[in-house]
A and B are shown apart, each in its own frame.
Chain A
Amino acid sequence: MIRLRINGLDACVEEGSTLLEAARFLGLPIPTLCHMDGLSPYGACRLCLVEIGTGAQARLVSSCTYPAEEGLTVRTASSRVLRARRMILELLLASCPQSKTIQDLASAHGIRQQRFRQEHEDCILCGRCVRMCQEQMMAKAIGFRGRGGDRSIGTPFDVTSEVCRQCGGCLYVCPACQLRCTSAQPEEAICGGCANLTPPCIEKDRFDDLMCSLTPCVACEIARES
């Protein structure tokens, strides 16, 4: 067992677990995008940044790939972490403003400005679909192609792969295309609509069976406790 300190709390986790797992074990929320249970850690989105070490040695690492070390001091929500996380979200929002997943995360982190030109890409290159295809579906039909600004995800030679079984797993896990944010206007990058909504579960008659977008949903939590 490894002892470490997260946000001032002493934690004891199994050897080989990551900082993300340790923090989640303690119930500390860390937002993630490219991380998914059942897939190998990748560390592409950098959203799960935490600060480790003290004083001048303190640095930001991605908690989903960093293994828990004996005696490590971790801060999951220091001002430096939050600032970096907001910047990353703003950049992600600039590349993919139509993704509801990213819009929700931006709302949750109080992002009220957009300083970058919007690209309206369909992909943030988080690699979830690639790992899903390879590790869960055992297909290896899609992968990364090219480099730098030309990097993209797809099949070799842009033709339907022979090993693809059309399972749809890649679509299912994609944070950019699984849910579309319909409110994001080209000129107004930040939607924020979901954050300002009353939870649909409270006003059932108005929203019918719309999915609740709030995590955690205050109303649901109250209902569960009572």
Chain B
Amino acid sequence: MTRAAAASTSLDAPPQVDVDRQQILRILTKHRQGRGTLVAVLQDIQARYGYLPEQALRAVADETGRPLVDVYGLATFYRCFTLQPRGKHLISACLGTACHVRGAPRIVKEFQHQLGIQAGETTADRQFTLETVNCLGACALGPVVVIDGHYFSKVRKSRVRQLLEEALTGFDKADAAQAERTFPIDVSCPRCNHSLMDEDFPIDGRPSIRCTVSFDRLHGWLRLSSLYGSSSISAEHEIPPQTVVSFFCPHCHAQLVGRSVCAACEAPMVPMLVRGGGTVQVCSRRGCPSRDLEVS
């Protein structure tokens, strides 16, 4: 899978995202306006759009009355902010001292060769962004590569192609089967406390979580994997990506809706009680990986 043919080294016209001024205003009112909150505002904007669009920065400067040069200076100062749209999958290759002596430059070169881009660039099909970082804090495991939040240690040149293929299919699917970081949870309805577990319909080899959902005048069942960390689902009706779905308890038919909203996409979070104490919240937007576990 050499993507060199499909990729270009420069992005002449990056597709501009339409910036909704109301969205920016909502983010600004969430953080009370002040000097100290600008980083938090920019973080929220980046979480919403995946990068910091020029229009958004101009809107922030307009609305807060701060000079654009200050907003721009801050946005270019921190490594976590980017003014260029990023690809769907983010590859961070560590070039710290320990990784460097363990051959990280060869790994980066191999990624560049496979993707046909330089470090810091995005492939033309907007699938991958390759960036180098200076230390990921796992020096004993070097060379370290992080793809979409998943850490890979002692990466060899021969593994690069396989990693890229896995990234395209999604690590979540591959992970749920054997990774130790995922663990099963038993949940129940926060209103009637009936168990939502369905042993007759296993997902990832575990009893699934049964809910009823409605969206776009469609009503049907939805089964979620009970492995915390897995995104596997099964649904009666195909749910288009990015759709915000209403969740209901199959026993008391109460809507499962909490007060909080997703930090990443601002869709309502769906609360469920965890057997043993605590709550788990999952984002109601299809495709959004946000989930939050609170154990009490």
Q: Answer yes or no: do A and B interact.
A: yes
A: which residues have CB within 8 A of B?
A: 140-147, 155-157, 161, 163
Q: Establish whether residues A157 and B67, one from each chain, have CB atoms under 8 Å apart when the complex forms.
A: no
Instruction: Take A145-B76, A147-B76, A147-B77 as given contacts and tell me if A140 and B69 are in contact as well, using a CB distance cutoff of 8 Å.
Output: yes
A147: chain B residues at CB < 8 Å are: 76-79
Q: CB < 8 Å: which of B57, B78, B79 contacts A156?
A: B57
Jot down 13 A-B pairs with beta carbons below 8 A, ordered by A: A143-B67, A143-B70, A143-B73, A145-B76, A147-B78, A156-B57, A156-B68, A156-B69, A156-B71, A156-B72, A157-B72, A161-B68, A163-B68
Rounded to whole angstroms, the CA-CA distance of A142 and B68 in the bound complex is 9
Rounded to whole angstroms, the CA-CA distance of A145 and B69 in the bound complex is 8
Kindly state whether residue B54 has any CB partner on chain A within 8 Å. yes
Rounded to whole angstroms, the CA-CA distance of A156 and B57 in the bound complex is 10
Q: CB < 8 Å: which of A141, A145, A161, A163 contacts B73?
A: A145
A157: chain B residues at CB < 8 Å are: 54, 72
Instruction: Take A156-B57, A163-B67 as given contacts and tell me if A146 and B77 are in contact as well, using a CB distance cutoff of 8 Å.
Output: yes
Closest to A156 in B: B72
Within the complex, the shortest CB–CB distance from A173 to chain B, in Å, comes to 17
Q: CB < 8 Å: which of B57, B71, B73 contacts A144?
A: B73
Q: CB < 8 Å: which of B69, B71, B76, B79 contacts A142?
A: B69
B: which residues have CB within 8 A of A?
A: 54, 57, 67-73, 76-79
B76: chain A residues at CB < 8 Å are: 145-147
Rounded to whole angstroms, the CA-CA distance of A116 and B57 in the bound complex is 39
B73: chain A residues at CB < 8 Å are: 143-145
Closest to A159 in B: B54
Within the complex, the shortest CB–CB distance from A170 to chain B, in Å, comes to 12
Rounded to whole angstroms, the CA-CA distance of A155 and B54 in the bound complex is 13
Within the complex, the shortest CB–CB distance from B118 to chain A, in Å, comes to 15
A161: chain B residues at CB < 8 Å are: 68-69
B78: chain A residues at CB < 8 Å are: 147
Closest to B70 in A: A143
Within the complex, the shortest CB–CB distance from B42 to chain A, in Å, comes to 14
Within the complex, the shortest CB–CB distance from A163 to chain B, in Å, comes to 7
Q: Establish whether residues B72 and A140, one from each chain, have CB atoms under 8 Å apart when the complex forms.
A: no
Q: Establish whether residues B72 and A145, one from each chain, have CB atoms under 8 Å apart when the complex forms.
A: yes
Closest to A147 in B: B77
B68: chain A residues at CB < 8 Å are: 156, 161, 163
Q: CB < 8 Å: which of A140, A146, A155 contacts B70?
A: A140
**Most chain A CB neighbours (cut-off 10 Å) among B67, B69, B72, B78:** B69
Rounded to whole angstroms, the CA-CA distance of A161 and B69 in the bound complex is 9
**What 15 additional pairs, Cβ within 8 angstroms, besides A147-B77, A156-B71, A156-B72?**
A143-B67, A143-B72, A144-B73, A145-B72, A145-B73, A146-B77, A147-B78, A156-B57, A156-B68, A156-B69, A157-B54, A157-B72, A161-B68, A161-B69, A163-B67
- Would you list the 5 A-B pairs with minimal beta carbon distance, nearest first? A143-B69, A156-B72, A140-B67, A145-B76, A146-B76
Rounded to whole angstroms, the CA-CA distance of A163 and B68 in the bound complex is 10
Within the complex, the shortest CB–CB distance from B80 to chain A, in Å, comes to 12
Within the complex, the shortest CB–CB distance from A176 to chain B, in Å, comes to 20
B57: chain A residues at CB < 8 Å are: 156
Rounded to whole angstroms, the CA-CA distance of A163 and B79 in the bound complex is 27
A145: chain B residues at CB < 8 Å are: 72-73, 76-77
Within the complex, the shortest CB–CB distance from B60 to chain A, in Å, comes to 12
Q: Establish whether residues B69 and A141, one from each chain, have CB atoms under 8 Å apart when the complex forms.
A: yes
Rounded to whole angstroms, the CA-CA distance of A145 and B78 in the bound complex is 10
Rounded to whole angstroms, the CA-CA distance of A56 and B54 in the bound complex is 52
B72: chain A residues at CB < 8 Å are: 143, 145, 156-157
Rounded to whole angstroms, the CA-CA distance of A89 and B89 in the bound complex is 46
Rounded to whole angstroms, the CA-CA distance of A142 and B69 in the bound complex is 6
Rounded to whole angstroms, the CA-CA distance of A143 and B77 in the bound complex is 12
Rounded to whole angstroms, the CA-CA distance of A204 and B57 in the bound complex is 56
Within the complex, the shortest CB–CB distance from A148 to chain B, in Å, comes to 10
Rounded to whole angstroms, the CA-CA distance of A46 and B71 in the bound complex is 27
B79: chain A residues at CB < 8 Å are: 147
Within the complex, the shortest CB–CB distance from B291 to chain A, in Å, comes to 33
A140: chain B residues at CB < 8 Å are: 67, 69-70
Rounded to whole angstroms, the CA-CA distance of A157 and B58 in the bound complex is 10
Closest to B83 in A: A157
Within the complex, the shortest CB–CB distance from A6 to chain B, in Å, comes to 37
